[in-house]
A and B are shown apart, each in its own frame.
Chain A
């Protein structure tokens, strides 16, 4: 059987635009939240977000490093973040100079939950105010979700599968899971897999606020707004950025002496079949997704030491996920650590599952689990579960589970462990 390992990582997040900076900030308990600066949000119910910081910031993002000037002008932020994160991952994996036969078996599976919303918003205003003849000729391909995979394949000459998942907030996890299967099936030896999002724009914030999904009680204290499992939580904080990993067939990675971070051993998927935005009241979809991933991995709950929770800081979602984990884990619930890094970088929507999988991989590497910030007064249902409040925790980490759940009732779970 073909095994799938992770050999490269790339991150663009509100806490930094390279893997080590982001990880150090996460472990230090920093928050990427702040007042919205990308537009005047004074008339919005939610006026905060976890924005990717500008290049001159201490841990800002410089798009000029890896994205051509012309491409930057033509595409939405999510594509720029995705191209950069993919470039980081390729560089990290030592794959910047692949020969043609390698590139024929290298592909991309980098998706997004929403895609080019800022550009759709602004170009709709051009259409309304100036007419159709002023709409950009780059409008369509600068907004399409599969255009991270498209751009990255063109830039690096990757001729294998070119795929893009769109499953709302489960996108990043599904992207990695689907890509791992493509490698297992022999469609590719190398896959760039992950997700990106960039929807901090007026209609993005208004839309999620109107769906009653965003935190609106902490506009004056942005760093306190994302507080998964805390009694005062009132919705998620929108984040933006991208996470991309290089997945590689194990023998292929070994033959070229690649650094191997982790092995992808379990992937579970399910549908709630219940409601477009509300999670199933018994968390049955979440339960089945995790159970499938465990079964595929050939593990039992005792083997899992860390769960990076979906944990968005919404009143309903956090409880239901925790309930599903509790039922699945039984007595093993007392030994596992489970945290939500959305407390630090917000909810990256289609990027979340990929970014959080990278945190899981780094937890395996460094034998430390990242904290859940702002967990001052845990909900009663949290009793007896280590949610890693406030500070990172050194502990044994043998295998990790990442959960991602999305609108439409779509669930994905990934399990990884250190490769032998």
Chain B
């Protein structure tokens, strides 16, 4: 597992209060991890802080699973 994936999962566990083994790459934030739309806003902010990337609103709207987040960060981090 990549370093990015590890760090993303750690943030998700901390913010959503879910068990680490539930945070698979296929997991949907809303359907599988109990997040609401504001939780996703907060997660995106945490990713931006952690990785020093900017995730504009239109890109954030397309992030619905853990792997969506990892992929976006991998492709855009400096």
A327 at the interface (CB under 8 A from B): no
Out of B16, B34, B42, which one reaches A136, CB within 8 Å? Answer: B42
A395 at the interface (CB under 8 A from B): no
A298 at the interface (CB under 8 A from B): no
A330 at the interface (CB under 8 A from B): no
Name the residue on B nearest A70 (C-beta).
Answer: B17
B41 at the interface (CB under 8 A from A): yes
Whether the pair B38, A69 counts as a contact (CB closer than 8 A) is: no
Whether the pair B42, A69 counts as a contact (CB closer than 8 A) is: no
Residues on A with beta carbons closer than 8 Å to the beta carbon of B49: 134
Whether the pair A137, B16 counts as a contact (CB closer than 8 A) is: no
Name the residue on A nearest B35 (C-beta).
Answer: A70
Residues on A with beta carbons closer than 8 Å to the beta carbon of B16: 70
Whether the pair A70, B39 counts as a contact (CB closer than 8 A) is: yes
Name the residue on A nearest B40 (C-beta).
Answer: A137
A contacts with B, residue count (CB < 8 A): 9
Residues on B with beta carbons closer than 8 Å to the beta carbon of A73: 15, 17
A100 at the interface (CB under 8 A from B): no
Q: How long is the Cα–Cα vector from A362 to B77 in the complex, in angstroms?
A: 61
Whether the pair B17, A68 counts as a contact (CB closer than 8 A) is: yes
Smallest Cβ distance from A119 to chain B, in angstroms? 14
Residues on A with beta carbons closer than 8 Å to the beta carbon of B34: 70
Residues on B with beta carbons closer than 8 Å to the beta carbon of A254: none
Whether the pair A134, B17 counts as a contact (CB closer than 8 A) is: no
Interface of chain B residues 1 through 59 with chain A (CB within 8 A): 15-17, 34, 38-39, 41-42, 45, 49
With A68-B17, A73-B15 already in contact, the answer to whether A138 and B42 are too (CB < 8 A) is yes
Q: How long is the Cα–Cα vector from A211 to B37 in the complex, in angstroms?
A: 41
Out of A68, A133, A137, which one reaches B42, CB within 8 Å? Answer: A137
Q: How long is the Cα–Cα vector from A73 to B41 in the complex, in angstroms?
A: 14
Out of A68, A69, A134, which one reaches B45, CB within 8 Å? Answer: A134
Out of B17, B39, B41, which one reaches A69, CB within 8 Å? Answer: B17
B contacts with A, residue count (CB < 8 A): 10
Smallest Cβ distance from B36 to chain A, in angstroms? 10
Residues on A with beta carbons closer than 8 Å to the beta carbon of B15: 70, 73
Smallest Cβ distance from B19 to chain A, in angstroms? 11
Q: How long is the Cα–Cα vector from A70 to B39 in the complex, in angstroms?
A: 9
Of listed A69, A73, A137, A138, residue having the most chain B CB within 10 A = A137
Residues on B with beta carbons closer than 8 Å to the beta carbon of A134: 45, 49
Q: How long is the Cα–Cα vector from A134 to B44 in the complex, in angstroms?
A: 10
Residues on A with beta carbons closer than 8 Å to the beta carbon of B45: 133-134, 136-137
Residues on B with beta carbons closer than 8 Å to the beta carbon of A136: 42, 45
Out of A68, A133, A137, which one reaches B38, CB within 8 Å? Answer: A137
Name the residue on A nearest B54 (C-beta).
Answer: A133
Smallest Cβ distance from B39 to chain A, in angstroms? 7
Whether the pair B38, A138 counts as a contact (CB closer than 8 A) is: yes
Smallest Cβ distance from B50 to chain A, in angstroms? 13
Residues on A with beta carbons closer than 8 Å to the beta carbon of B42: 136-138
Q: How long is the Cα–Cα vector from A133 to B16 in the complex, in angstroms?
A: 20
Q: How long is the Cα–Cα vector from A68 to B41 in the complex, in angstroms?
A: 19
Q: How long is the Cα–Cα vector from A73 to B17 in the complex, in angstroms?
A: 9
Name the residue on B nearest A133 (C-beta).
Answer: B45
Q: How long is the Cα–Cα vector from A70 to B17 in the complex, in angstroms?
A: 6
Name the residue on A nearest B49 (C-beta).
Answer: A134
Q: How long is the Cα–Cα vector from A133 to B42 in the complex, in angstroms?
A: 11
Instruction: Mark interface residues in A36-73 (1 if CB within 8 Å of B CB, else 0).
Output: 00000000000000000000000000000000111001
Name the residue on B nearest A135 (C-beta).
Answer: B45
Name the residue on B nearest A141 (C-beta).
Answer: B38
8 A-B Cβ contacts within 8 A? A68-B17, A70-B15, A70-B34, A73-B15, A137-B38, A137-B41, A137-B45, A138-B38
Q: A134-B49, A136-B45 are in contact. List 10 more A-B contacts (CB 8 A).
A: A69-B17, A70-B16, A70-B17, A70-B39, A73-B15, A73-B17, A134-B45, A137-B38, A137-B45, A138-B42
